[in-house]
Homo-oligomer: A and B are copies of this chain.
Amino acid sequence: MPLSHAQTHNLMPQPAKLSFGEGKLRIEPTFRVALSGHKDARIQAAAARLISRLSRQTGMPLLTQIEGNPSRAALTIRCERAGEPIPALKEDESYRLEVTPEQARLTAPTALGVLRGMETFLQLVEVDGEAFTAPAVVIEDRPRFPWRGLLIDPARHWMPIEVLERNLDGMAAVKMNVLHLHLSDDQGFRIESKVFPRLQEMGSDGNYYTQEQIRALVRYAAERGIRVVPEFDMPGHTTSWFVGHPEVASAPGLHLIERTWGVHDSCIDPTREETYAFLDRFIGEMAALFPDEYFHIGGDEVNGKQWNANARIQAFLRERNMKGNHDLQAYFNQRLQAIVNKHGKKMVGWDEILHPTLPKDIVVHSWRGQKSLAEAARQGYSGILSFGYYLDLIQPAWQHYQVDPMDRDAAKLSADEQARILGGEACMWSEYVSAETVDSRIWPRAAAVAERLWSPQEVKDLASMYRRLGAVSRGLEWVGLTHRSSYTHMLGRLAGSTAIEPLKVLADVLEPVKGYARGRARRYTQQTPLNALVDATRPESEVGREFAGLADRAQMRTGLTLWRDNHARLAPALERSFLLRDAAPLSQDLSALGAAGLEALDFLDGGRRPSETWVKERLALVDRASQPRAELLIMVVPAIRKLVEAAAGQGR
């Protein structure tokens, strides 16, 4: 461990090197910032944002004017040189932050490092018994991987621009540096094309980003040291394109925006020259809008059905001696790559694009795992990992946290090959999230991925991660995210005019079903309201995690009693709100589990052995309660099973 101390802190991602000193810097209402070295508009704006963030965090009315005299400033910032006006891959993000009881001093080679160090400074500030303070510390920090992304998918469910803005602020807070926008899919085309306006006019239900909004968004991201990489998924996942432009489709007829989820048949026709003329103009337009060096063309999940069904396409394959649809897609990608390249960009695509005909400057984006990432690296391609980072699968943070781009096959690569592994991206696919719920699915879990991609590989203590994740989650509320407040709002809607507390007691121990289980029990479309208990419930039950870790039986009894008595308290809400109709069995079971746990503790405390019947019935309850209902899981079931089993096993 590079840490030279035992002191705890709430920094996430954890810095590369950190060493605590003696004492603390007090943050007073007179707090001011001074700048030296290179000062540009981005640094000035960042300093004003830092002050306003600090003001929100502490509730102190700070003045945002920059202090001219460094000796009078609580925080001095020195930036050596300008850096790139738009952040670029592998640009230096390092910084040094030294805090003494007198002053905090942040230095960095470029504005990017200044931005990263400012976030560290804000995370250092905490309330203590005397004041708001930052501990004396020396931090020398730089990222492990240069590509630390978050994919947001406004195609399946529309995400208004303010959703992206607040998530950019969240990303910056945990030092993520790539926003990957999945701008088109079967269910929606989400950006204005002036060259082909029917794309958004007919393919978006009116929900798309204007070019003006995109330009502002790219600026907003750049100010926070974040690249914006657009994705236009091709040749599959393209139904929404065809509503206005059926001429580029592989199948004839009327095309309608797709309202359901899954892999659909729609596919661009890769055999017609008109297709490439269209894409050349379209990509040219989009390439001008997004200044980043990289351009994502998707390339995933082509099922080939429309190609198989089209005689002209099949004739094209035969004429060129192609062995099948994989070759046809490789041909498409080759043509596409040339177009992307012509417009000054390097191509990024999902695993499926990997093919020896493509030049080495492309980036393979792996949803399949470290094996395909390693394979790409061996062949000389760069790669980023998203396997294991799918936030939509509602896995606990520790699972994402344990996925390392350099593990498994990648660990066996040479150093040169490993250097091609650029990092990774957390993915927020939006089949089951809306603008209202998306923050709660991204945060705080994305911060665990951010740490994996920034901090040294050996930073992996789970208890420390969860403690700091709790702090970062609270901090992100001051940044403007709604991942915590939306919980209360949504519980309020579910409870109608009844008190929300009993509903919160239930929801606090629930988690949504995991993996691809959601949507199996009922049919979802784009119009299905996401206002059920499963949507309000958080991906990780803190109460469940804490209860599982309890050793003290009195504390256990407090929780168990609360749950046992809760069903009666929740009954009015269950009766009055149709939104809670399918929550009743969960609530009943939670009460029964609470009672069973209390009885088990009575047996254990009394050293008495329960009857066979008691054991049988309680284990049946536990079995039933471990099944998902209403797409929800009761997370305290395993702990209560243990209690029942412990009571049953006494003296045997």
Contacts and interface: CB of A to CB of B under 8 A. Distances in A.
A477 B496 contact: no
Contact of A531 (B58, B490, B497): B58
Interface in A546-599: 575-579, 581
A61 B494 CA distance: 16
Given A127-B578, A578-B129, A497 B61 contact: no
Interface stretch (A91-99, A339-347, A522-530, A642-650): A522-530
A470 B495 CA distance: 14
Contacts of A493: 57-59, 127
A375 B251 CA distance: 82
Nearest to A475: B492
Nearest to A581: B129
Interface in A156-213: 157, 205-206
A461 interface: no
Nearest to A536: B59
Nearest to A574: B129
A531 B29 CA distance: 12
Given A127-B576, A477-B492, A578-B127, A29 B206 contact: no
B577 A129 contact: yes
A529 B62 CA distance: 9
A489 interface: yes
A74 to B, nearest CB: 15
Interface in A408-445: 434, 436
Contacts of A526: 61
Interface in A105-158: 126-131, 157
Contacts of A127: 493-494, 496, 576-579
Contacts of A492: 474, 477
A65 interface: yes
Given A496-B126, A578-B131, A63 B205 contact: yes
A217 B575 CA distance: 43
A485 interface: yes
A576 B129 contact: yes
A10 B494 CA distance: 17
A460 interface: no
A434 B477 contact: no
Contacts of A484: 488
Contact of A497 (B471, B477, B577, B581): B471
- Give the interface size class of chain A: 35 or more
Nearest to A498: B127
A60 interface: yes
Interface in A342-372: none
Contact of A436 (B59, B470, B489, B531): B59
Contact of A61 (B490, B527, B579): B527
A314 interface: no
A143 to B, nearest CB: 26
Contacts of A260: none
Contacts of A490: 59
Contacts of A530: 59, 61
Interface string A32-62: 0000000000000000000000001111110
B531 A60 contact: yes
A127 B57 CA distance: 36
A64 interface: yes
Contact of A529 (B29, B126, B578): B29
Nearest to A158: B61
Interface in A467-525: 470-471, 474, 477-478, 484-485, 488-490, 492-494, 496-497
Nearest to A437: B59
A186 to B, nearest CB: 17
A568 to B, nearest CB: 13
A61 B434 contact: yes
A206 B65 contact: yes
Contacts of A157: 61
A601 B128 CA distance: 39
A128 B494 CA distance: 10
Contact of A206 (B10, B64, B474, B576): B64
B206 A527 contact: no
A478 B436 CA distance: 11
A508 B295 CA distance: 53
Nearest to A526: B61
A275 to B, nearest CB: 31
A59 B129 contact: no
A153 B442 CA distance: 38
A489 B481 CA distance: 12
7 contacts: A59-B529, A126-B497, A128-B577, A130-B578, A477-B489, A477-B492, A478-B489
Given A59-B493, A128-B496, A470-B497, 11 more contacts: A57-B493, A59-B434, A59-B530, A60-B531, A61-B434, A61-B529, A63-B205, A129-B576, A129-B577, A471-B497, A488-B488
Q: What 8 A-B pairs have minimum CB-CB distances, sorted nearest first? A: A59-B531, A127-B496, A60-B529, A485-B485, A127-B577, A130-B578, A59-B529, A29-B527
Interface of A: 10, 29, 56-61, 63-65, 126-131, 157, 205-206, 434, 436, 470-471, 474, 477-478, 484-485, 488-490, 492-494, 496-497, 526-531, 535, 575-579, 581
